[in-house]
Structure 1
């Protein structure tokens, strides 16, 4: 029997340097994601019957779909889109949750040579209308849950010729796909696309100004693969003995409409011909463990916020569940050593932190099977990527110095890195501003701050606009938030500057209480005095005893939930603007009611 796959053997050397130095990209001139991820498997007799999608949800029994089924349904939909006049390079919006039809939609659009525009089911009317208008999407693919939202803004989107309802009952002007698909051929050609041709148009979160559409080429999937394989501990294969392998099953709660769900989960899993679980329900930390057990999930991508919730909800999961995890990748925020230690001790897996962006995804991270992870570090540059920490002038800074993480267009061998986006849709100025240096030999700046040590490990310091000064000290929120999380009362935390006339700003923490503590607070008749004040003092002492004196939060505010993006990132900017508005209000003279 194959032996169980574990983290790096205790006596194994650190093979990072050799792996990175010897790695070479092999990017064909012609490449199509749909062919690589779906059709090549369906065309192999021995693999066509393998499971591609395991669909599950709170209101349904699990249903398995094979690669042959996925390819056939994608061919039918591709033929339908051709009949609707969709041309190569035109944009097709995909407004769908995790489900089998979503994988069908991406495959069909990409095999046509059209450009998929993933749009989250969580978008409100303004967010949806802006992206449909800006991308000039000609068709929108929806289900019964997302269709009404698209229909509500359809009149504001003149380029949108058709809305196709893949499931459910719809209004007469929405194409009923279950009925329309009858009689359509289940064979269709895959367009001969160049590796540099656009494949996906994904909109950034838009924390400042309108969201920008990042145009991703087909080759970018290849650029993701070295990081995916490393972060997933070789994805079921044993790097120490290639003859040893295990069945890999992937699941992530990350929405397939975002880079984390599409490029870090769905597409790379299909590229390797493995099954991925499509969970149609909302994320629940207790339900997550049941899902991992039910489908014998071996590999996963879990946001730090999800891991924190799971850690607080089920501190000892292996007492209640039979888990088969071989790898956990985490990204979006700093993991922190509290979560890192819990994953090792409670789950038996060393979490592989990863760093990337929509524009340049999967560029930095860990691989516990090949090189040792360091608690609190976001890892090293993945093979094939040349990463540095730069100062404001675009020059590399010495080890131990805070700077901005940047990725070079060319790898250590001088060859083009395939992971790069093509540019921002209709925004050449923003594209140019993203790079430093000559366009053909330039650094792409991320806007994220880090310290790089002498061994190449990066230590995240926060977004450039999240770091602030207090009384002359430079404060990064991540370290303080991680320290607060180690207290049993804290489920999550966000640190921002509170304007102060004497020190410029003071450290303020917003804290979400762990469930047991939140219940205790709710039972207090006067929580501000009998609960909040004592706990605030306790948390301040907790931080004081572990970090520098200037880093402890001078003020703590307890809230029910932190503002989050749809991709699981804390929106510190929202809290920072709230503090600035409160400061202006305090500074505004109030009318004296006694004066006439």
Structure 2
């Protein structure tokens, strides 16, 4: 990425004017993320792995490449060919990185599946994708074995770690017998590399087919959101599961692309553990979703008094961060959170960059974050808020966030997915306009201000009207979380005959607080005093935990459907 520093007062405009995509016709993720580093810096650490039981090991790029070569040979022996899907059902661990590299250099398609998926979720994705091989460790072996009975195409299970003996092949034995030499298969930048199934907030999950070039499309956002990654001593860690876009495309692959070490923690997330890991491994850059940051803010209000941290950048995405968390990070961590927005189909397209740290040590201002805003389009991406007819909305008018097929220079943007797996109609519905001049809709509602900053209002199906007012849940949720009694909150419409809907909040209490009628009144008054009168929750229900997707997003749809069912029952 080229930066002309002579126009520093407007670095953002300069970045967009000078930025050009460079996408070679032939491109392979494994070569870019491992192969070249194994040749050029073989002893550099690629993965620092730690298990929650205390075990830890560091593995180099040369070791990553050698293991990937062995696995590629094993998979080829199983008949895996160009374009075939291979399921990876594992958490953050060295073998997960190996599996991704091995599948990519074979020209096959990696299909990451969350270890949290139950048998039904696994069965749907395995059958829909037609995967013949699955790689699994102890975290998901039980559920995979149950699902297998209904997956006739699944021929081979490769068992990893404590799952050894429960599959058709054992990872250690199979790789020990395979050659560490493998000649990478040639792939085009447009060839399929990853098949990731969306969360399924409406209807069954859809498989988004991601090409190799999409990694290149991610890089401008990754570099900017991490305050000009990498620096020479950069170390990356994120609790984001490598089985979804946020962990794979926003953490694992871009870190390896730049030849830097990534920390893999195999265990349950907790606020204290997050700080411990960042201290122990001198983590400089991280991706922490808002749910994690909220938990860290509540559990460790003054982290600098307990931990010695080396953090230089925090990216956050998935939900709106909100100014409570934003202020906590600024005051307690001396870091301005760079919010980011994207989705599986076209990821890392909008966000912030609070600082530019150059290789010579100079620190330049990026573009100022506006607390509560998603940010602006990253270099290389053309973003707009459009209406139902595909017209760009005036500033301040809510609409659908959309990404144009071409950048501001009229060149193709490499970020886009190839389409939904076996679902051409859904792919067509994603776009508005002609093939050469089209917008791709995200399904997220926002407004854009005069400066090009986007202000998130919620998923298009999360925004609702109450008494004629358009309600975006995230602002109310952010307000509730500012109250010391609230650990997390989700706002949904409750059907109402007179108003159409009432604002209802589901609230998870912070430790030390009890649910009672007085607290309900206090929370209602808290929101009334900070937001518009029509936005305060007319009803509050306390809940032990909010329903979440495997990607860490609150499933408001689940709560909304619960309210609709209750209304029908009443």
| Map of 2:256 onto structure 1 | 270
CA contact (8 A) 2:192 2:209 kept: yes
Distance 2:274 2:55 in 1: 16
> Which of 236, 239, 243 is residue 253 of structure 1 equivalent to?
239
Give the CA deviation at 1:165.
Answer: 1.2
| Map of 1:129 onto structure 2 | 123
CA contact (8 A) 1:48 1:68 kept: yes
Larger radius of gyration: 1
> Which of 190, 197, 201 is residue 195 of structure 2 equivalent to?
201
| Map of 1:405 onto structure 2 | 401
> Which of 161, 174, 179 is residue 167 of structure 1 equivalent to?
161
CA contact (8 A) 1:203 1:213 kept: yes
Distance 1:469 1:153 in 2: 41
> Which of 90, 94, 97 is residue 100 of structure 1 equivalent to?
94
Cα gap change, 1:461/1:168 in structure 2, threshold over 3 Å: closer, same or farther?
same
Distance 1:172 1:539 in 2: 51
CA contact (8 A) 1:139 1:163 kept: yes
| Larger displacement relative to structure 2 (130-139 or 60-69) | 60-69
| Map of 1:472 onto structure 2 | 468
Distance 2:285 2:230 in 1: 8
| Map of 1:293 onto structure 2 | 279
Distance 1:144 1:553 in 2: 43
What secondary structure is seen at the aligned counterpart in 2 of 1:207? coil
1:535-572 Cα distance to aligned partner (Å, 9 max, x none): 11111111111111111111111111111111111111
Matches within 5 A, 1:152-551: 152-171=146-165, 174-237=168-231, 246-369=232-355, 370-517=366-513, 521=514, 531-551=515-535
Distance 1:19 1:410 in 2: 17
What secondary structure is seen at the aligned counterpart in 2 of 1:556? strand
| Map of 1:4 onto structure 2 | none
Distance 1:172 1:12 in 2: 59
Give the CA deviation at 1:469.
Answer: 0.9
| 2:565 counterpart of 1:577 | no
**Segments ≥4 residues shifted beyond 6 Å:** none
Q: TM-score, normalised by structure 1?
A: 0.92
1:143-200 Cα distance to aligned partner (Å, 9 max, x none): 1332232222223212212111132354475201211222321111111100000000
| Map of 2:361 onto structure 1 | none
What secondary structure is seen at the aligned counterpart in 2 of 1:206? coil
What secondary structure is seen at the aligned counterpart in 2 of 1:353? strand
CA contact (8 A) 1:13 1:371 kept: no
CA contact (8 A) 2:230 2:258 kept: no
Distance 1:155 1:566 in 2: 24
| Map of 2:363 onto structure 1 | none
| Map of 2:60 onto structure 1 | 66
Give the CA deviation at 1:440.
Answer: 2.4
Distance 2:8 2:288 in 1: 27
Give the CA deviation at 1:67.
Answer: 0.3
Distance 1:139 1:474 in 2: 47
Q: Name the count of aligned residue pairs.
A: 555
Give the CA deviation at 1:355.
Answer: 0.2
Distance 1:172 1:556 in 2: 47
CA contact (8 A) 2:141 2:163 kept: no
| 2:554 counterpart of 1:554 | no
Distance 2:63 2:192 in 1: 26
CA contact (8 A) 1:93 1:117 kept: yes
CA contact (8 A) 1:120 1:258 kept: yes
CA contact (8 A) 2:223 2:230 kept: no
